[in-house]
Amino acid sequence: MNHNSEIRQARYIVIDGPIGVGKTSLATLLAPELNARLIFERAEENPFLSDFYHDPARFRFQTQIFFLMSRFAQQEEFSQHDLFNQVTISDYLFAKDRIFAYLNLNDHELALYEQIYKMIEPKVVRPDLVIYLQADTETILRRIKQRARPFEKDVSRDYIEAVNDAYSHYFFRYAETPLLVINTSDIDFVHNPQDLDDLIREILSMRPGTLYYVPRSQG
């Protein structure tokens, strides 16, 4: 069913969460339901990423700065569009870059990173709604293995667990926009239309503050 006529306030919706949690899948499914355009993060275009997973200490700074500038360039391009003309859904929050920077960089690298970040962050468009997808580490590892992206073949369990913890810490304190928190370990919005439709109803009824999504089957 098409819900575009029901959208009132959330013109720019961002979906975020750890690697492999289902951000792109949910964005892709929501777009036709909300008659929305999509903005996908282009992680595979980072030439340092596969090297980073193999040797983090050597390639962390190059990887992070490439991501920062690539994401900013994409945000600048996006900001030229008329946000009131069509609902827009993105599979990443610009602030995620900082989550990874604090996870991966040493103090000297982080000091330089922060100088760059603080110059460009004020120019980034703020979303109307952020959807934070959660899952336990084992579920995420299973999904990463299933999608079999070549540049992720060397990612370690310890790294995924650290990323998962960093996201939990960040969003526990998040208050910049309305936030919908969804634990995806026990729902399947990809293969179960009822789960997707229930989730869309929650998105359309979002209010200020933070809401923890509870599926109707568990309510």
Which band of pLDDT confidence, cut at 50, 70 and 90, is reported for residue 74?
Answer: confident
Which band of pLDDT confidence, cut at 50, 70 and 90, is reported for residue 125?
Answer: confident
Q: What is the mean pLDDT of residues 116-121?
A: 95
Give pLDDT, residue 13.
93
More confidently predicted of 22 and 62: 62
Give pLDDT, residue 81.
65
Closest alpha carbon to 182 in 170, 193, 192, 171: 171
Q: What is the mean pLDDT of residues 177-198?
A: 86
Q: What is the DSSP letter of 125?
A: P
**Is pLDDT of 3 > 60?**
no
Domain ranges of the chain: 4-212
Which band of pLDDT confidence, cut at 50, 70 and 90, is reported for residue 218?
Answer: low
Q: Do residues 143 and 152 make contact, with C-beta atoms less than 8 angstroms apart?
A: no
The mean pLDDT of the chain is 86
pLDDT in tens, 127-163: 999 999 999 999 999 888 887 777 777 788 999 999 9
Q: Give the sign of the dihedral formed by CA 190, CA 155, CA 117, CA 180.
A: positive
Could you tell me the CA-to-CA distances from 196 to 10, 31, 39, 191, 208 in Å, in that order? 18, 12, 20, 9, 22
Give Cβ neighbours of residue 80 (< 8 Å, ≥ 6 apart): none
Active site (catalytic) residues: 91
Rounded to the nearest 5 degrees, what angle is found at the Cα of 29, between the Cα atoms of 24 and 32? 125
CATH class of this structure's domain 4-212: alpha beta
Q: Which runs of E-coded beta strand occur in 91-178?
A: 129-134
Rounded Cα distance between 158 and 154, Å, is: 12
pLDDT in tens, 190-203: 878 888 888 888 88
pLDDT in tens, 44-59: 889 999 899 889 999 9
**Is pLDDT of 79 > 80?**
no
- Residue 89 is inside which H or E element, if any? strand 88-90
User: Could you give the count of Cα atoms lying within 13 Å of 190 in the half-sphere of its Cβ?
Assistant: 10
- Tokens representing 50 are 């596969």
Closest alpha carbon to 89 in 42, 38, 133, 40: 38
Buried b (16+ CB within 10 A) or exposed e, 27-40: bebbbebbebeebe
Closest alpha carbon to 189 in 25, 3, 24: 25
